[in-house]
Structure 1
Amino acid sequence: MPPHLSADRPASQPPERDAAGAPGAVGAVDALIHRTLRLRGDVDAVRRETVQIDEDDPQQRWQRALCDLAVHQLDDLGAQLGQLKEGLPPQAAEPAERSAAADRTGPETPSDDGPGSPVGRVGSAEWNLLTDEVSWSGELLRIFGRTAAAGPLSLDELPSALLPDDQPLLTALVTDCLVDGKPIDGEFRIVLPDGRTRTLHMRGEPVLDADGCTASMWAVMRDVSALRRSRQAVRRTHDTFRRQQDIAQAERRVAKDLQEAVLPPWRGSLRLPEQGPGALDIAAHYLPSESGALIGGGWYDAMDLPDGRTLLTVGDLTGHGIRATSAMTMILGALRGMAVAGIAPAALMGHLNHLLETSVQPALGSAVCCRFDPATRVLEWAQAGHPAPLLFRNGTGRPVPPPDGILLGAAPGAAYEQDELRLLPGDVLVLHTDGLARDGGSAERGLRPGMDTLLGLAPRFARARSAQECVRAVVEQFGGTERMDDASVLVVRIPV
């Protein structure tokens, strides 16, 4: 019997490419897919040419088996390259029972294929049922970790080299081949003498004698351990990514529900106080981030106070998700309680600073807190590292000069100043968080990013008949802007 040299060689590796001339990632994957398809077609053509072979010629049988195996591996490679191009692979990369068995036995030990090789070595074997002669190629002996002195395994001995979970599979494949003449095509895991494991892909057929009886069985085996390890890594990474996505979506739903439960429920315009002359016309809006997935710790609020004055506030805390929204809930609740108790804006900021600075989950925040007296039309206000309110009067707008105040939670015992501003009939006051606009601004005028655009809405504010119309103008201007952070805007219109 001629030696099975055609099967005793490592699989060829793709040529390396010059990094300087390499295409982009997508283009490179497309090129690999194209080359794989062409190679698959060439190998399939060779396979079709070897269908009609001399069954008595072992060399021709090995060649046909190798072609079949190569087509199978190229199909596998093409599918994986397609998944790489599309991004996230499908959920079921492997049968569940095979994946579970792999998880129980642990990761396979790398074979001698070379680092990162997706395909392994190939060996061949034949078992003569008439003479009990067994012939293995040298490469197959090395794949099984056997020496030439130890020799090959008979069909009866072969299952003993497999993991117990895979022995029934091999027994069924061999039985179907010898009894029913079915070709062999399957994978199983072997245990090497040193305890390591490898995954082999086996293809083979029975060889019939002149009377049509099975005289022998031949097979070609490829070490696909590295390929299966890569597939398992992809599957595990995919599962981890899916779990992270599910957790992120659940956290976002909780954060959004918490935000909606805490922020004022009113929509459209609000009049405060509800009774009496000089009621403020108020409207507000929340603008999500570009992705819509980041729920931050921003807030806006307006409420009547027991002494007849009105609380107006806008603020934002660092971070996103449940932690930020829960901290916002704490801050907004404390702010409302202190405002109802009659604490002035500057002192209120000091208490909020202490609350954040000593919190179990410390955070930084910025805020504006205003208290408006409808009888005198005087606005008392303080700020903590926050964009100053914008005052629109007689068709023009300007930032209100801010009193001193650092970020909440930045320094213990920080003092905050308080200023007063007399508002006139027809004035429009805009309070907002700094995530509203990011269009560059005018640094020479000392404006924050986006203020030029916002101040440019002054003519529309002058023509507006309600605070809600002013908010609508802001949303039309900034609603389509790509924002990395969410934003809140509160518009207050002084009645004429």
Structure 2
Amino acid sequence: MPSHLSADRPAAQPPGRGSVEALISQARRLKGDVDAVRRDTQSDGADPQERWQRALCDLALTQLEDLDVHLAQLREGPPPVPDAPAAPPPRTVPPAPRHGSLLSRVGSAEWNLLTDEASWSGELYEILGRDPAAPPLTLDELPSLVHEEDRPKLTAMVTDCLIDAKPIDGEFRVVRPVGDVRTVHMMGEPVLAADGSTASMWAVLRDVSELRRSQRAVSETRESLQRHRHRAQTEHRLAVELQESVLPPWRGSLRLPHQGPETLDLAAHYLPSASSALIGGDWYDALELADGSTLLSVGDLTGHGVAATSGMAMLLGALRGMAMAGTEPGQLMSWLNQLLDATVQPALGSAVCCRYRPDTRTLSWAQAGHPAPLLFRDGTGRTLQAPDGVLLGATTGATYEQAEVALEPGDLLLLHTGGLVPGHSGAEAMSRLLDLAPRFDEARTAQDCLRTVVEECGETERENDACVLVARVTA
């Protein structure tokens, strides 16, 4: 626990790897020095002072072993956590009562089995919360201080020590007279008489309450991180599976309509964000309708993860169903806006929806707060004049205008979601895409044009995912 003196100072910066290595070396040298002192204090166990010194050396070696492990963990760093929405604030661990120096948390005791006398150090009285003027408890009386659940454990340790001469090394909880519970680690050995019988038992008892509280806090934090990581991985997998199940299954080029002369050459691509955890609600779609026309759409629902992809699946399903019923793009946008407005979890979305009629080569389209399609013809490109339309879910009862444009064989339409051009947005992003017109003019298929867009925009890491759909008029 940090000293109160550090409260008005800036927080210490994480130590560098070199400084941690130096601490590890110092801790290991200190372990060697303590072990040498321990070997020098080995005796026949008759002198209580020597037994006390040896026990303290054993205790110090145990703590240094723990320190070595913790420093190694500090060198390795914390466990990895995937990028995800902000985690909940960390739990606040209440500060444990302070008990002074290490020695004030370590006490000793000896129980003489021949005279039934007991002797305790002053520190042990403090640890157990006993009045120093009161006589020390005998081995038979000691369990009265121990938590009811831990009494069998203490009895078993003492019995094994007295009967089988096994060293004591274990922990139990004691209930102090003031009502607080402390965790005590006990180490001890039997003292044998000349005839080999057990004459007495000595022990060193250490208050490890703060240490165990810290260990529990570390363990709970690690488990929380692991649960968070597992939950994030599960949500990411579900989002990816849902996205793959909803987006059109075709890869490469698609030619529509399937029946009759093919009039559109199509290609589309989904470009993920730099962080694989940020699966969003972007979509693209191409659907042949019952009258031989083709529905083209791209859109983006705000948010990331399962909520965004499930919302996108709902919108795309509704869009397909209403389009198959003959609904025009402007009315489609109005009903999609009502659908989002009525959902339990409010969300915003942008979309552009186009309906191409091959018999007249006309494109009817509407948009909801979305970048307008780009039209490329004869080596030049332009942005279509967008009809009015606000974001989906932004206001109740919104109406959406519809525009119409005549297309010619060889024309190329490019529909995309925001963020297609990394580091650029708005007019600047449109300008970058329009600059690709000469390369599109040389391309023979929609797939060639799509490959050009991906080469230009897809290799740079992007903050958000994006979709692009290319439609080339063939007849």
Same fold (TM over 0.5): yes
Q: Is 2:65 the partner of 1:79?
A: no
Contact 1:109 / 1:198 at 8 angstroms: preserved in 2? no
Change (3 A) 1:118 1:407: farther
- Equivalent residue for 2:280? 296
**Aligned-residue offset at 1:429:** 1.7
**Which has the larger displacement, 364-373 or 148-157?**
148-157
Inter-partner Cα distance in structure 1 for 2:11 and 2:396: 57
Inter-partner Cα distance in structure 2 for 1:142 and 1:457: 81
Aligned-partner residue type, residue 113 of structure 1: H
Q: Is 2:217 the partner of 1:233?
A: yes
Matched length: 461
- Equivalent residue for 2:447? 468
Inter-partner Cα distance in structure 1 for 2:94 and 2:136: 23
Contact 1:385 / 1:407 at 8 angstroms: preserved in 2? yes
Contact 1:280 / 1:493 at 8 angstroms: preserved in 2? yes
**Aligned-residue offset at 1:301:** 0.8
Task: Choose which of 177, 183, 188 in structure 2 pairs with 1:193.
Answer: 177
Contact 2:422 / 2:457 at 8 angstroms: preserved in 1? no
**Aligned-residue offset at 1:406:** 1.4
Inter-partner Cα distance in structure 1 for 2:290 and 2:130: 90
Contact 1:362 / 1:409 at 8 angstroms: preserved in 2? yes
Q: Is 2:25 the partner of 1:44?
A: no
Q: Is 2:245 the partner of 1:245?
A: no
Inter-partner Cα distance in structure 2 for 1:172 and 1:234: 30
The answer for unaligned runs of 5 or more in structure 1 is: 1-10, 90-106
TM-score normalised per structure 1: 0.83
Aligned-partner residue type, residue 44 of structure 1: D
- Equivalent residue for 2:140? 156
- Equivalent residue for 2:86? none
The alignment partner of 2:303 has SS state of: coil
Change (3 A) 1:132 1:25: same
Aligned-partner residue type, residue 469 of structure 2: L
- Equivalent residue for 2:327? 343
**Aligned-residue offset at 1:278:** 5.3
Q: Is 2:51 the partner of 1:61?
A: yes
Inter-partner Cα distance in structure 2 for 1:293 and 1:12: 36
Inter-partner Cα distance in structure 2 for 1:202 and 1:456: 78
Identical pairs, percent:
62
**Aligned-residue offset at 1:365:** 0.2
**Aligned-residue offset at 1:370:** 0.7
The alignment partner of 1:298 has SS state of: strand
**Aligned-residue offset at 1:336:** 1.6
Contact 1:187 / 1:202 at 8 angstroms: preserved in 2? yes
Aligned-partner residue type, residue 463 of structure 1: E
Q: Is 2:428 the partner of 1:447?
A: yes
Aligned-partner residue type, residue 265 of structure 2: D
- Equivalent residue for 1:481? 460
**Aligned-residue offset at 1:15:** 10
Change (3 A) 1:184 1:15: farther
Aligned-partner residue type, residue 462 of structure 2: R
Inter-partner Cα distance in structure 1 for 2:408 and 2:102: 76
- Equivalent residue for 1:104? none
Inter-partner Cα distance in structure 2 for 1:31 and 1:17: 26
- Equivalent residue for 1:113? 99
Inter-partner Cα distance in structure 1 for 2:154 and 2:447: 75
- Equivalent residue for 2:79? 88
Please list the CA deviations of residues 399-454 of structure 1 after superposition, one character each: whole Å capped at 9, or x if unmatched.
3332222111101122322222333332322211113332235x7xx334xx4554
Change (3 A) 1:21 1:133: same
Q: Is 2:133 the partner of 1:142?
A: no
The answer for unaligned runs of 5 or more in structure 2 is: 81-92
Task: Choose which of 249, 269, 273 in structure 2 pairs with 1:285.
Answer: 269
**Aligned-residue offset at 1:395:** 3.6
Q: How does 1:23-42 map to 2 (within 5 A)?
A: 23-25=13-15, 27=17, 32-42=23-33
**Aligned-residue offset at 1:63:** 1.4
